[in-house]
Amino acid sequence: MEVTDWHLEQLGPADLRPAAEPGVPVAITRAELPSPELSRYLYTAVGGDHYWTDRLTWTYDQWLNWLSRPGVETWIAHLRGTPAGYAELDPQPGGLVEITCFGLLPAFTGQGIGGHLLTVAAARAWDLATRWDDREPTRRVHLTTSSNDHPAALRNYQARGFRVHDVTVATGTFDHTPPGPWPGAR
């Protein structure tokens, strides 16, 4: 199977083009306490249908170490108190911030939540240094999306002002169906 990865970036906060507010009331909050259980749940619930497998073998301690690094932030969209999606920000040296994970649970796609969540996530990436004393100001926000991701993902990123700066194509072997949100879900 051939997989295309699009590497996208914004080079300044003015690049961000906000989405319209969704037609449903969405609250987006930061999970301020590192929680491996919560992050693993979000990772599998959002990425299970899109071959997100890199972190499936992580132990509790690996998750905790990742989430406990200064500046790592998890932003969660809630619809009527229910998690609908999330974004994970990873600050890197040189004023770079990567949106390492982003997406919605399948039941919440198509409602305008994704554009709104991405707007907030990118804005929080740009002002991340205001929440962390040891971080330099953000000068670039970047992310990668794949042809395995939701069909609207690339369009959403570009609509929010992210520009493609590189494209890679690789051939890989995947199971016939993605792993789903939990073992035995299929």
Write out pLDDT tens, residues 4-63: 999 999 999 999 999 999 999 999 999 999 999 999 999 999 998 888 889 999 999 999
Domain membership of residue 182 (yes or no) is no
Q: For the whole model, what pTM was predicted?
A: 0.92
**Which pLDDT belongs to residue 99?**
98
Q: Tell me whether residue 179 is in a domain.
A: no
Judge contact between 112 and 92, C-beta under 8 A.
Answer: no
pLDDT of 186 > 70? The answer is no
Does residue 171 have a pLDDT over 60?
Answer: yes
For the segment 50-90, what is each residue's pLDDT rounded down to a tens digit? 888 899 999 999 999 999 999 999 999 999 999 999 999 99
| Angle subtended at Cα 146 by Cα 143 and Cα 152, rounded to the nearest 5 degrees | 90
pLDDT at 53: 86
What is the C-alpha separation between 27 and 64, in angstroms, rounded? 25
On whether residue 180 sits in a domain, the answer given is no
In a domain, residue 185? The reply is no
- Please indicate, yes or no, if residue 183 is contained in any of the structural domains: no
Number of folded domains in the chain? Answer: 1
Domain of residue 141: give its range.
2-171
Rounded to an integer, what distance in angstroms lies between the CA atom of residue 156 and that of residue 113? 11
Among 149, 137, 145, smallest CA distance to 165 is for 145
